[in-house]
Structure 1
Amino acid sequence: MPVKPRRLKEGSVVAVISPSLAGPYIFPKVYQHGVSVLRDELGLEVVEMEHTRRPNYLMRLNPHLRGQDINDAFMDPGIDAIIATIGGDDSVRVLPHLRIQDIIERPKVLMGFSDTTTLLTYLAYKGMVTFYGPTVMAGISQIRHYPRSLEHLREMLFHPSAEHTYRPSPSYSEGYPDWSLDSSVGSISRKKRAPRWKVLQGEGRAEGTLFGGCIEVMEVLKGTRFWPPHTFWKDKVLFMEATEQMTSLTRLKQIMRNYGTMEVFENISALLFGRWRGYTSQQRREVERIIVRTVTEEFGRSDLPIIMNMDFGHTDPQMILPLGVRAEVDPTGPTLTLKESPLL
C-alpha cells in the first residue's frame, strides 16, 4: 500500500521550495503572484524555506542547500504541503541529499512538474504518493484564467474522492508572455482549441498504478539508484510529457526504444502522453507513428492502450496526476479515472 499524505484544508500551511531554477529570485513578481493565488483563492498559509529566494549562482553551486530545504519542510510538523516554485534542469543533484526514510515516514503533499519529476518519481518509487501538477510560478500563478482548473486543484488536494474521472479541457495555452514585463504577471498566451484525447491503440479497459513525469528528466534518472528496478513496472499506468525544448523525433525514437529494451512496455498496463507543446501537426503525427511503431512493431504490445494529447505537462490547464495511486484507463471514452483517493 502506498504511503498517503493528509488532505489539505483552509488554513493549511504550504512550504514553497526551489529545487531547481531560482525562479523567485529571477522573476519575483511572477512568484509573488503565484503565492497570492495560494493565499487568496485556496486559503492556504504560505511559508518560504531558507533558500527559496536565493540567487541562481548560489543554488546551482550548492545542491545540498536545496536538499536541506526539502528535508526541513518534511521534518517540520507545522508544514502540511510542499509545492515547487518552478522547474529547471538539475534537481537530480539534490536527490543524494534527501533524508529519504525520514521523508517517507512523514508524508506530505508534494507537487510540481517538469524538473520536479526527479523528486516525485523517486519518492513515489520509494512508496509515497506524490503529485504531478502545476508549480507556483508556472500554472498556479496563471490559474485564474482557467476557473475549472482551480476547482480541480481544490478537488484533488482538499476534497479528494474515492473515485475521480478527469475531464478534458476545451481550450489550452502554450507558455506565457515575457516574464520580464510587469504586464505579463499572471498572464497566459493565447488560448487555442484543445485537441481531443486521441487513442492510438487499445480497446479494453486497463487498470494500474500511475507513475511518470517529464520524458527528458526521467532520462537523467535511468541507470541510477533513484530509478525503479525491473520488477517495479508491473501493472503501471505510465504517463509522459515533453518540455518546451521539443525533443527531436530521432531522440524520441531512441527514448521509446530504451523503454522497450528495459521491458517496461512488456509490463505496464497503459501508456499516456500529455500535449506536445510547440510541435506542428505534421510533427505530432510523426510522434504518434514513432510511438506506435516502437511499442507495437518492435516490442509486440499491440494490445497496450495508448492515449495522446492529455491535459498534463508543459501547457495549461494542467491535470494533477497522483503518482502511486490506482487508476483505470478506458480507451472507448477515452477516460482516465482514479480508483482510490490519493490522500487520507
Structure 2
Amino acid sequence: MPRPVHPPKPQPGDRIAVLSPSSGLPGVLPLPFELGLARMERDFGLKPVEFPTTRQMGSTPQQRADDIHAAFADPDIAAVMASIGGDDQITVLPLLDRELIRANPKPFFGFSDNTNLLMTLWNLGIVGYHGASVMCELGRPGAMHPLTEQSLRAALFRSGPYKLPEASEYCDESRDWADPATFDAEPAMQPSGGRIWHNADRVVEGISWGGNLEILSWLLMADREIQPDESAYDGCVLFLETSEELPAAEEVFRVLRNMGERGLLQRFGALLMARAKAWSFERPNGPEAKAEYARDQREAVLRALAVYSPDMPAVFDLDLGHTDPQQVIPYGGSVRIDGRTRTVTVTY
C-alpha cells in the first residue's frame, strides 16, 4: 500500500470546518464548545465554520455524511476538526463518498470515535491527526495545557519531525461541563510517573495506525476499513488508547488476542500505548484504584504481546487520547521510536 501523503496545511486566517461526525454534544453542552471556538479564532487565528449537524443531537448518519462531504468539497475550507467523539460514527462510513474525499484531501483532527474517519483517510492515502477536539482540548477549563497547545500548533501549521516531550503531570478526571464554575480554573494535575519502555533496545520507524481500542475492535468486528491483505500493516507503528468507558483489562487482552489470532498484531513493528484513562463520572476511582487499573491494563497488553509478538518494542503511558495533556499523533505519518535515547518523534 502506498505511503499516505500529508494534505496541505492551513495558515492563520484560513477557515476550518467544525463538524460533529459522531455526536452533536455542542448543542447540549455549549460552554466548552464556545470556549474552544473562541480559542481557535483568538489563539490559532483560524476561522471556525459550523455545519448543519454540528450542534444537532440525533442527526442521521446521512446528515453527518453530508456535512463531511460539504466540508471536504468546499475549496475555502483548509482543515476539518471534530467537536467531540461519540459512539456511532461507524454508521456513517458506508455513506461516505470516498472519491470526493480523495480528490479534496484536508487535515482532519479528532480522536476516540473519530478513529473511524481517521482510518478511512488512511485507506485513502491521506494522513490524518489523532488528537484535538474543540470541546475537550481547545475547550479545556482555565487554559489549554501548554504541551497540548504546542503539539496542536505544530500539527496544524508545521511540517517535519516533532519530538513528543514527556509530561511531568497529567489529569484524567473531569468536571461538570454544564456548570459555568468549572471553567474558572484549570484541572488539578498529578505527577505522571513518566513513560514505561519495553524491549527498548533498538530504533523502530514506521507509519502510524490504530486509534481508540474500543472503536478499533468494533471496526474489526464489522469488518470495516481493515485491509484484507494484512501485509499492508507490515512494519507500521500501532498506537492505542482507551476511553472513559474504562474497558476491563481482560477485555483489552481479548481485543489484542483476537488481533493476534487474525495475524494482525504481529505485523506491527512497535506499539505506543496511551496512559490509561482510569476515571469516569460512573467510576470516580481514587488514586489507588486508578493506579491498579492502569497497571492491570499494561499487564494485559504485555500478556498479549508475549504470546503474539514477544520481541515488539512498546512504550506505555504516552500523552495521547483521553488524557490531559494530549499530544497529537499523525495517523499515517511517520513515527520514530528510539529505545536507546527514550524518545518518540512524529512527523507532522
C-alpha spacing 1:118/1:335, structure 2 compared with 1 (3 Å): same
Q: In structure 1, how many angstroms separate the alpha carbons of the residues matched to 2:47 and 2:158?
A: 18
Q: What are the within-5 Å matches in structure 2 for residues 235-314 of structure 1?
A: 235-278=235-278, 280-296=290-306, 298-299=307-308, 301-314=309-322
Question: How far does residue 187 in structure 1 lie from its aligned partner after superposition?
Answer: 5.3
Q: Alignment RMSD, CA only?
A: 1.6
The equivalent residue for 1:6 is: 8
Question: How far does residue 33 in structure 1 lie from its aligned partner after superposition?
Answer: 0.7
The equivalent residue for 2:338 is: 330
Moved more, 122-131 or 37-46: 122-131
Question: How far does residue 226 in structure 1 lie from its aligned partner after superposition?
Answer: 1.9
Among 72, 79, 82, the alignment partner of 1:81 is 79
Among 202, 205, 208, the alignment partner of 1:204 is 202
* Number of aligned residue pairs: 333
1:304-323 C-alpha deviation (Å, 9 max, x unpaired): 10110000011111111111
Instruction: Tell whether 2:325 aligns with 1:317.
Output: yes
Q: In structure 1, how many angstroms separate the alpha carbons of the residues matched to 2:64 and 2:53?
A: 7
Q: In structure 2, how many angstroms separate the alpha carbons of the residues matched to 1:214 and 1:332?
A: 28
Q: What are the within-5 Å matches in structure 2 for residues 160-171 of structure 1?
A: 160=159, 162-171=160-169
C-alpha spacing 1:166/1:152, structure 2 compared with 1 (3 Å): same
Instruction: Calculate the TM-score normalised by the size of structure 1.
Output: 0.93
Runs of 5+ in structure 1 lacking a partner?
Answer: none
The equivalent residue for 2:63 is: 65
Q: In structure 1, how many angstroms separate the alpha carbons of the residues matched to 2:264 and 2:302?
A: 15
C-alpha spacing 1:175/1:125, structure 2 compared with 1 (3 Å): farther
The equivalent residue for 1:193 is: 191
Instruction: Calculate the TM-score normalised by the size of structure 2.
Output: 0.91
Counterpart contact for 1:173–1:188, Cα < 8 Å = no
Question: How far does residue 163 in structure 1 lie from its aligned partner after superposition?
Answer: 2.0
Moved more, 285-294 or 70-79: 285-294
Question: How far does residue 188 in structure 1 lie from its aligned partner after superposition?
Answer: 4.6
The equivalent residue for 2:50 is: 48
Question: How far does residue 288 in structure 1 lie from its aligned partner after superposition?
Answer: 2.3
Report % sequence identity: 29
1:193-249 C-alpha deviation (Å, 9 max, x unpaired): 112110133411111101111000111111424222312211110000000111112
Counterpart contact for 2:84–2:110, Cα < 8 Å = yes
Instruction: Tell whether 2:226 aligns with 1:227.
Output: yes
1:158-217 C-alpha deviation (Å, 9 max, x unpaired): 122x22211111111114210111112375531111121101334111111011110001
1:328 maps to amino acid: R
Q: In structure 2, how many angstroms separate the alpha carbons of the residues matched to 1:97 and 1:335?
A: 40
Counterpart contact for 1:200–1:288, Cα < 8 Å = no
The equivalent residue for 1:25 is: 27
2:197 maps to amino acid: V
Runs of 5+ in structure 2 lacking a partner?
Answer: 279-288
Counterpart contact for 2:207–2:334, Cα < 8 Å = yes
